[in-house]
């Protein structure tokens, strides 16, 4: 069921058990815009059936926030102009060469081009895979793009991110709402989860320049401003404690600086920043 954020903004909540991210719908007087396409044709069609119940203006645009499979594999189901940034398109070009039969999927998993959950979702929720091929986007932008849906402006911007190099956010100024998708999350390299420490402050600056009260995230659905500020504080406090590959040293530094032990979230972030140091040190 779609949740109503305002008279013009709706969202389909994430389902972590199926690795389904939050999907968004923004409605203007003339057209509607969708944010992310879902992780499969089934996910996309579930979303479209919910949209049909609303009797909103026709969907004209679909924005893919970044090129992780759970956000774009449903894109073929939408009769809409597909918009991506240029770096997202580079990754999608690779996916357009993929075959989706079982043997090909198993080979992609074996060669680390795809994870096992992705394969299982494709097998379960994308029928007729023998003929499945990902469509090409229609509009490719570099840094920023403004879309007017009819008295409803959406600003698309490629921003710095700790999660991917191709993250796009969607900001609706008159609603003070921003769709962040996964841009504020950690990432995984060589099976090691980590937060890109060098990208943390640039990312926060890119997001905080927008006057937003509500933040929609890929796998938590929605946060208000107080929740986001708490998130930023925990992230930056954890980051300041990490200056080496030593987890023990980072935890001790945190205790000295803050006169307390890190909470569970801060400890997760500290470990992720330490892992980033490990990954960066192994590059040289």
Residues, the chain: 284
Looking at residue 155, its pLDDT comes to: 98
* Cβ(149)–Cβ(30) below 8 Å: yes
Q: Are residues 190 and 258 in the same domain?
A: no
pLDDT digits (tens, 9 = 90+) for 59-72: 999 999 999 999 99
Place of tokens 């890190």: 262
Q: Which residues pair with 25 in a beta bridge?
A: 10, 34
Using alpha carbons, select from 28, 73, 75, 15 the residue that is nearest to residue 48: 75
83 within some domain = yes
- Token code pair at residue 44: 């996309």
| Residues 242 and 228 occupy one common structural domain | no
Q: What is the pLDDT of residue 284?
A: 54
83 and 172 housed in the same domain: yes
Both 165 and 251 in one domain: the answer is no
Which residue is it, tokens 């990312």? 203
136-191 pLDDT per residue, tens? 999 999 999 999 999 999 999 999 999 999 999 999 999 999 999 999 999 999 88
On whether both 211 and 263 belong to a single domain, the answer is: no
In a domain, 122, yes or no: no
Of 60-64, 226-230, 238-242, 280-284, the poorest mean pLDDT is in: 280-284
CA dist 111 and 105 (Å) reads: 10
Q: What is the pTM of this model?
A: 0.97
Q: How far is it, in rounded angstroms, from Cα 158 to Cα 176?
A: 18
Q: Looking at the predicted structure, is the pLDDT value of residue 52 above 60?
A: yes
Of 43 and 220, the structure prediction assigns the larger pLDDT to 43
**How many domains, in total, are found in the chain?**
2
Nearest to 70 by CA among 163, 172, 141: 163
CATH of the domain at 154: 3.60.15.10
* pLDDT of residue 265 exceeding 70: yes
Mean pLDDT of the chain: 97
Containing 35, the helix (H) or strand (E) segment is strand 32-35
> CA–CA separation, 31 vs 150, rounded Å?
7
pLDDT in tens, 72-109: 999 999 999 999 999 999 999 999 999 999 999 999 99
CA atoms of 182 and 233, how far apart (whole Å): 18
| Inter-residue contact 5 to 11 (CB < 8 Å) | yes
Report yes or no: 238 and 194 within 8 Å, Cβ to Cβ: no
Report how far residue 172's alpha carbon sits from residue 159's, in angstroms, rounded to the nearest whole number: 16
Residues 197 and 243 grouped into a single domain: no
**Residue 65 tokens, joined:** 């926030």
54 and 29 together in one domain:
yes
Using pLDDT thresholds of 50, 70 and 90, give the confidence band for residue 221.
confident
- Indicate if the pLDDT at residue 203 is higher than 90: yes
């Amino acid at each position: 069921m779609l949740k109503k954020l305002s008279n013009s903004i709706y969202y389909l909540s994430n389902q972590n058990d199926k690795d389904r991210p939050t999907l968004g719908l923004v409605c203007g007087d003339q057209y509607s815009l969708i944010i992310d396409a879902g992780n499969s044709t089934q996910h996309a069609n579930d979303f479209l059936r919910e949209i049909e119940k609303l009797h909103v203006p026709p969907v004209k645009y679909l924005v893919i926030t970044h090129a992780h499979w759970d956000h774009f594999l449903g894109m073929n189901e939408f009769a809409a102009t597909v918009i991506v940034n240029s770096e997202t398109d580079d990754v999608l070009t690779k996916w357009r060469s993929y075959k989706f039969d079982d043997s090909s999927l198993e080979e992609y998993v074996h060669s680390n081009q795809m994870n096992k959950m992705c394969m299982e979702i494709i097998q379960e929720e994308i029928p007729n895979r023998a003929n499945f091929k990902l469509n090409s986007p229609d509009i490719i932008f570099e840094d920023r793009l403004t879309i007017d849906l009819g008295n409803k402006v959406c600003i698309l911007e490629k921003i710095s991110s700790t999660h991917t190099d191709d993250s796009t956010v969607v900001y609706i100024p008159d609603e003070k709402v921003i769709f962040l998708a996964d841009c504020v999350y950690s990432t995984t390299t060589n099976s090691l989860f980590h937060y890109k420490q060098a990208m943390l402050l640039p990312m926060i600056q890119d997001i905080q320049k927008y006057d937003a009260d509500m933040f929609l995230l890929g796998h938590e659905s929605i946060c208000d401003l107080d929740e986001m500020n708490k998130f930023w504080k925990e992230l930056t406090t954890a980051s300041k404690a990490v200056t080496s590959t030593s987890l023990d040293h980072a935890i001790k530094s945190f205790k000295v600086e803050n006169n307390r032990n890190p909470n569970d979230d801060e400890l997760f972030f500290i470990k992720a920043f330490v892992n980033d140091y490990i990954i960066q040190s192994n590059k040289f």
